[in-house]
Amino acid sequence: SIASADMDLNQLEAFLTAQTKKQGGITSDQAAVIAKFWKNHRVKIHESLVSQSRWDKVLKSMNWRVDLKSQSRHVEQINTPVAIVEMELGKSGQ
């Protein structure tokens, strides 16, 4: 729960306090150890979860534009928007 929510220190403290108060929860010593571990390894854990949740390809860049044709020789006031999206995919880390 802590890692999936990427809790900050205030959220972590509130979560661990709730866990110590519920029946069958953790002890305050266990909460202190978990808090210390999370403070020291939060960035590594978050990066690991992100890398595990990605597929092989990642989005490297994206360009887009919307074209609007406002008049034609045969039909006036067409106002039909057309979106053009260009996405460049690449392997993670490249």
Q: How far apart are CA 30 and CA 22, in angstroms?
A: 14
Task: Read off the pLDDT band of 92 (50, 70, 90).
Answer: low
Single pTM value for the model: 0.55
CA-wise closest residue to 92 among 50, 40, 44: 50
pLDDT digits over 13-61, tens only? 999 999 999 999 999 999 999 999 999 999 999 988 887 877 777 788 8
Q: Where are the domains of the chain?
A: 9-53, 57-91
